[in-house]
Amino acid sequence: MKTLYLAGGCFWGTQKFLDQFDGVAETEVGYANGRTANPTYEEVCRKGTGHAETVRVEYDETKLSTQDLLRYYFMTIDPLSVNRQGNDIGTQYRTGIYYLTDDAAPEDVELVEDIYTVLEEVKARVGRPLAVEVLPLQNFYTAEEYHQKYLDKNPGGYCHIPRNLLHLEAE
């Protein structure tokens, strides 16, 4: 199993989108790479904590490659937008790919190489520099329970991702 942390605007839609793919074993929404410990949603939205709404994705690379996972991720974001996705505006809605790494582990070096391969593909396609952070994970705090699988509990809830993308596997 591998783990990536993907910030793609509001974490509700990103989690719902990623959950549909064979090979995704588990997702969890939370707050990543901020300046405070154990932030609440209210603090992330209003107190300038520096956290990004992020989804922790555990996946089986024998079923879903890192590159394919990231290609799916890029289907749901505007990679040129700074601190905004859809109607959501603020630093907590920035886009980012965060990874755990041990520079001595060959599989971690390969993971980072896979990330940059996909970034270069997207950059070539859009023809401009991307506004997607790519950084080692500094911290991740699990969001409140009511945010976990939010769109499953509230199917009519707001989502910046087009609804048809939330059901690709079923097609």
pLDDT in tens, 54-101: 999 999 999 999 999 999 999 999 999 999 999 999 999 999 999 997
d(CA 36, CA 33): 9
pLDDT in tens, 113-135: 999 999 999 999 999 999 999 99
Helix axes 66-75, 106-126, angle to 10 degrees: 30
Distances (CA, A) of 49 to 13, 81, 89, 113, 146: 22, 20, 15, 30, 20
pLDDT beyond 70 at 104:
no
Res 26: pLDDT: 98
Res 103: pLDDT: 64
Active-site option among 10, 29, 44, 143: 10
- Tell me the pTM: 0.95
pLDDT in tens, 5-53: 999 999 999 999 999 999 999 999 999 999 999 999 999 999 999 999 9
How would residue 109 be classed by pLDDT, with cut points 50, 70 and 90? confident
d(CA 75, CA 84): 15
Residue 10 among the catalytic residues: yes
* CA proximity to 76, closest of 154, 137, 33, 15: 15
CB 159 within 8 A of CB 123: no
CB 11 within 8 A of CB 147: yes
pLDDT in tens, 130-142: 999 999 999 999 9
Res 152: pLDDT: 96
